[in-house]
Structure 1
Amino acid sequence: MSGGQNFDDFSNGAAGLSSSNPAATYVMGRHFSSLAADAIMLASNPVRYNSQSYYGSLLMNPDLLGAIQQNGYIGSVNAALPAGAVNKAVAQAMCLMTTSRSYTNTSNPNGIGSAPYLNKTYTGTPVQILTALLADGYPEWSIDGQNDPFWNTSVNNSTGSAYSQVGAWFNACVSNPAYNTTTYPTPTFPAGFAGWVQANNWLIRTFAPKGTVTFGWQDNMWAIGSGFWLHQNLSTAQIAATFSTPVSTWLNTNAPGTISTTGTSAPDFFLFDRYEMDDSASPGAATLYNARSWDNFLSAIGQLSKANNNIPMMLWQIPGSHIPNTKETTPELFQGTAGSYVFSTAPVYFFGDGNLTSNLSNMIAGAASSTNANTAVGDYAVACGATAYNCLTPNSAYKQYLMEYNSLSNNYNWSIDNGKLSLAASNNVFAILWGGGNTTNVIKNFSNTDDHGWLAGKLIKYYANPTPVIPH
């Protein structure tokens, strides 16, 4: 729901039910099928390293929980999921994913005359057949496109007027969702959002037992309304009253399967992101974090964890850019433009940056501006206010704001390691995943900017002496 209200994932019928794509059919059944396929593929194809198997993780439905709580959608979501609806969609997915069938491949996307997969008959479940096709050299790019005749990414798995083979099998399962319920005894999932969450968990654990693929549900720091609460001077009790308790109560009331650690299908962890953007990208959306902001963040998720049986916490999509300074010879530039910078504080908060002076005297400072953070950087005029960035000094510049800590000016040293990874560990954080599609990452990919190895260097140094997690 990152783009606004959308209940398509809870619909499961003929064309016309999806608001975003009226041609889409049986969206919930397809969602469950895709999730099951992901779990099967991850569980059956671990990465081997140092004699250990690494299966990967599934991060569940980003922005869904936060959007439903923030906007009060839970009544509408529950109404979209009457009794029996979830089980019907689960049956369609189980029929598709567990039934063995045969497929003769006549597709030759690369035009290779002697391709081993050409005119060959494969037998198995859809994922087993796909695995065998790929093992024979069938091109992954075709499966990842909209026209592959076996399995593709188009709406309804169709190829023009026809369906892909997997699309045709799914249609058959809609008509007759039969599968072996002795081998796969299926719970009766309750009506409403809570039952839908349970079904997601059950599908993952059915195809990826504990000890293989891990998974967790994601929530947002803006679930209570906005993210500006993080930029206030708050006591531990105030953080609980403002964020941790309301979010924990909402989850346990409306989606207990996302946060519970008990039961055979329970998630392995819970996760929060910040925003999928660097701090400099959107100051009006509460993205300018100083050390107080990150302290509040860690305290809040630690409280939520401890209120829910110490469920492990992951930080996800954390912006990986850093504080620009005059000592850098290759700074991280916005769209490659000299004098325009990309910046964030998270990695400097956790690792420190010896290139900075203790008072940020060498922080980049352009022409003062209240509209262009990328060029102003240290001289960017922060929107100070009791419900925005709660600055000690009205009309603070960004550099001043970064130096504020514990209600004192000039009171934070960004040039050193201040022990914040240990603080994260004490709040049950076990992992930090850096960056995203548009956010500075450990490597440059897609449209994100290039930090010229700054974050990678920090992580290489960290792994030589990592911070231990807190066992429970």
Structure 2
Amino acid sequence: MTMHLPLPTRLSTALGRALSSALSCALLPTVVSLGGAALWMPAAQAQSYNSGGSVPGWPSFIAMGAIGGPNITPPTGNSHGGNDDFGGRPVDVVFKYAGVNGNGDPGVIDPPTNAWRMTNDLTTLSQINAHPMRVAIVEYTAQMSGGFNTDDFTNGPPGQASGTPTASYLMGRHLSSLAADAQMLATYPVKWNGELFQGSLLMNPDLLGAIQQNGYIGTVNAALPAGAVDTAIAQALCLMTTSRSYTNHSNPNGLPSAPYLGKTYTGTPVQILQALLADTYPVWSIDSQGDAYWNTAINNQTSGSTKSQVGQWFDACVANPAYDRAKYRPPVFPAGFDGWVQANNWLIRALAPNDSVTFGWQENLWAAGSGFWPHQTLTNKQVASTFSTPVTNWLKANAPSAMARGGATGVHFVLFDRYEMDDSAAPGAATLYNARSWDNVLTAVGQVSKNFKNLPVMLWQLPGSHLPNTKEPQPQLFQDTPGAYVFSTAPVYFFGDANLTSDLSNLIHGPAGGSTNTAVGNYKLDCSAFAYHCLNANDTYGQYLRQYKGLPNNYDWSKPHGKLALAAKKNVFAILWGGGNTTNVIKNFSNSDDHGWLAGKIQQYYTNPTPVVLH
């Protein structure tokens, strides 16, 4: 029986994206005072923050990350409520969706302001926390999180994209946006302690999974005939690598004088943007629809038929895509989906050479047909036949460039997304994970990694809440409702929770017959073979959590059981937590921070982080 992932699960990444777009061992930790706030920071770090890992520029230990985004005001040691307010809660990387709407903004050449603003935030935070951080930007050069479409593969006058019929040259604009982010991250990295901490690009969540799960590959291949991608690459290179001059007469703040008024800037569009922002040109204007230099409206129009300067330059590149062909020599990309993937990869490496920006494509745990498969008792061979082999075979046949490492078009890693939800959010969408489930996931991603020459693995958007229990004074409430709770297992699986009794007797057990949020330990699962596959038909969630290796009462959640070391053996190099509506390390969108539970676990982890495994 083939089971497809329920629609709400597949849309959850899009929902979180929209929300997030709004608005070996160390010495014991020490506490310092900065601005009146007590901050955690390590006294020393034996393992490298910036080398020796399986991915260039990443730590030699499994990195920890979180969702964030540009602050309106600079973060401090005790600020709260900002998207990047990680003062006192160090992580190694903060990720954010590119652009305005978080869906790739079809028809818009997005300015790389998120990367610029976050680099400023994280440089400040690295100093505050005495712990370096990196920027990761989630890129959509095509997206199917909300359902099938080939709009993003069109590249012509208005009318070709059904979702945005007034938009023109979507593929060329998408690739130009990607180029801008790659250039910004490469030339404007986080700086700390005399070192540069380069950023990363996370490519096209849900795209590979949706195409495989739904059999879209034939239609997608047909949408990308020979020469189509080459033309879009030429347009992006023309726009983003050509040096031009721009005299600024825009005065968004209405100032009587400003360094940028009447000044002529020379360079590529990103270089000019960097110079404008360095001269205190307001970033809010660049992020608006009406800025004269670079704006965020469809076709980069400011009003009527008028376009921003970047929009005008792009139009000129459509008419004549000239660029330095001695310096930039793109290959002839083959027709079809993999040629398009190659083009994305090549563009990043051409504009951010020498691994100055690392990147990888996202794959889904539901790509092989259903999100429920991890909830079965499976041998390694059964995990392979259920997930790893069909996913590997599909990728090798249809998108090998998304997994090929190194060279002119190779990636640095692959990221896997369970889907962005706390476990308690949608039990009908396979969100209730126990230790067996997470073991299966690690086995699966390790197998896929091995099938592609031990390609490093990032676990992305894992839910950051924990198991609520009677020992803690304030378990995280669901929507601030007494008697309703938010919970997940991933952090407890990796870190353990000494507050839990070994038999889970102090797990909150609410009234039977209620929702996951109210019943918690007494929640009645769908224990069928095609859902959660419990040992007994009437098992509760509390009983299900204790089931392990085919036995009842066989897992102790108070201990970590070496699961981070297991993840390292499966080639995991980073775990990124949270989402726009999923528990995070800090509370910065509609998510919660679980009263700092995960932040505390990560701080403790940094005193003895888990080394990555090198091959």
Q: TM-score, normalised by structure 2?
A: 0.76
CA contact (8 A) 2:406 2:412 kept: no
Aligned partner letter, 1:29: G
Shift of 1:314: 0.5
Aligned partner letter, 1:282: A
Matches of 1:220 and 1:405, distance apart in 2: 24
Matches of 1:361 and 1:279, distance apart in 2: 20
Alignment-derived partner of residue 134 in structure 2: none
More displaced 10-residue stretch of structure 1: 14-23 or 426-435: 14-23
Aligned partner letter, 2:290: N
Alignment-derived partner of residue 2 in structure 1: 145
Q: Are residues 1:69 and 2:212 paired? A: yes
Q: Which has the higher contact order (CA 8 A, sep 6+)?
A: 2
Alignment-derived partner of residue 105 in structure 1: 248
Aligned residue for 1:88, secondary structure, equals helix
Alignment-derived partner of residue 86 in structure 1: 229
Matches of 1:450 and 1:243, distance apart in 2: 32
Shift of 1:210: 2.9
**Counterpart mapping for 1:302-313 below 5 A:** 302-313=446-457
CA contact (8 A) 1:335 1:449 kept: no
Q: Are residues 1:326 and 2:467 paired? A: no
Alignment-derived partner of residue 435 in structure 1: 578
Q: Of 284, 305, 311, which aligns to 1:167?
A: 311
Q: Are residues 1:227 and 2:391 paired? A: no
Aligned partner letter, 2:254: G
Q: Are residues 1:292 and 2:436 paired? A: yes
More displaced 10-residue stretch of structure 1: 176-185 or 259-268: 259-268
Q: Are residues 1:116 and 2:297 paired? A: no
CA contact (8 A) 2:349 2:355 kept: no
Matches of 2:511 and 2:292, distance apart in 1: 57
Matches of 1:355 and 1:331, distance apart in 2: 12
Deviations 1:144-192 (A, max 9, x none): 2222121112111111211111111111111111111111111100000
Q: Are residues 1:361 and 2:494 paired? A: no
Q: Are residues 1:378 and 2:497 paired? A: no
Matches of 1:124 and 1:417, distance apart in 2: 52
Alignment-derived partner of residue 350 in structure 1: 494
Matches of 1:228 and 1:211, distance apart in 2: 37
Alignment-derived partner of residue 160 in structure 2: 17
Alignment-derived partner of residue 341 in structure 2: 197
Task: List runs of 5+ in structure 2 lacking aligned partners.
Answer: 1-143
Shift of 1:211: 3.0
Aligned partner letter, 2:271: Q
Matches of 2:312 and 2:476, distance apart in 1: 49
Aligned partner letter, 1:390: H
Q: Of 457, 462, 466, which aligns to 2:600?
A: 457
More displaced 10-residue stretch of structure 1: 400-409 or 139-148: 139-148
Alignment-derived partner of residue 245 in structure 1: 389
Alignment-derived partner of residue 590 in structure 2: 447
More displaced 10-residue stretch of structure 1: 108-117 or 356-365: 108-117
Matches of 2:322 and 2:417, distance apart in 1: 39
Alignment-derived partner of residue 264 in structure 1: 408
Aligned residue for 2:392, secondary structure, equals helix
Alignment-derived partner of residue 141 in structure 1: 284
Matches of 2:348 and 2:528, distance apart in 1: 45
Deviations 1:294-333 (A, max 9, x none): 0000000000111110000010001101001111222211
CA contact (8 A) 1:216 1:271 kept: yes
Alignment-derived partner of residue 392 in structure 1: 535
Q: Give the alignment's Cα RMSD to 1 decimal.
A: 1.0
Alignment-derived partner of residue 406 in structure 1: 549
Deviations 1:36-73 (A, max 9, x none): 00000000001112222111110000000000000100
Alignment-derived partner of residue 357 in structure 2: 213
Aligned partner letter, 1:378: G
Matches of 1:146 and 1:170, distance apart in 2: 16
Aligned residue for 2:266, secondary structure, equals strand
Matches of 1:346 and 1:39, distance apart in 2: 31
Q: TM-score, normalised by structure 1?
A: 0.98
Aligned partner letter, 1:442: V
Shift of 1:105: 1.5
Aligned partner letter, 1:192: G
Aligned residue for 1:432, secondary structure, equals strand
Alignment-derived partner of residue 341 in structure 1: 485
Q: Of 415, 420, 424, which aligns to 1:280?
A: 424
Q: Of 171, 193, 196, which aligns to 1:53?
A: 196
Q: Of 176, 179, 182, which aligns to 2:323?
A: 179
Shift of 1:264: 2.7
Paired residues, what number?
471
CA contact (8 A) 1:151 1:167 kept: yes
Aligned partner letter, 2:504: L
Aligned partner letter, 1:427: K
Shift of 1:450: 3.0
Alignment-derived partner of residue 460 in structure 2: 316
Shift of 1:265: 2.5
* Overall identity of the aligned pairs, in %: 69
CA contact (8 A) 1:333 1:449 kept: no
Instruction: Say if 1:136 and 1:142 are closer, same or farther in 2 by CA, change over 3 A.
Output: same
Matches of 1:453 and 1:289, distance apart in 2: 22
Q: Are residues 1:41 and 2:215 paired? A: no
CA contact (8 A) 1:334 1:449 kept: no
Shift of 1:262: 4.1
Aligned residue for 2:201, secondary structure, equals strand
Deviations 1:81-128 (A, max 9, x none): 000000000001011001111112122222222221122221111001
Matches of 1:203 and 1:211, distance apart in 2: 13
Task: List runs of 5+ in structure 1 lacking aligned partners.
Answer: none
Aligned partner letter, 1:315: L
Q: Are residues 1:128 and 2:271 paired? A: yes
Matches of 1:351 and 1:273, distance apart in 2: 19
Aligned residue for 1:340, secondary structure, equals strand
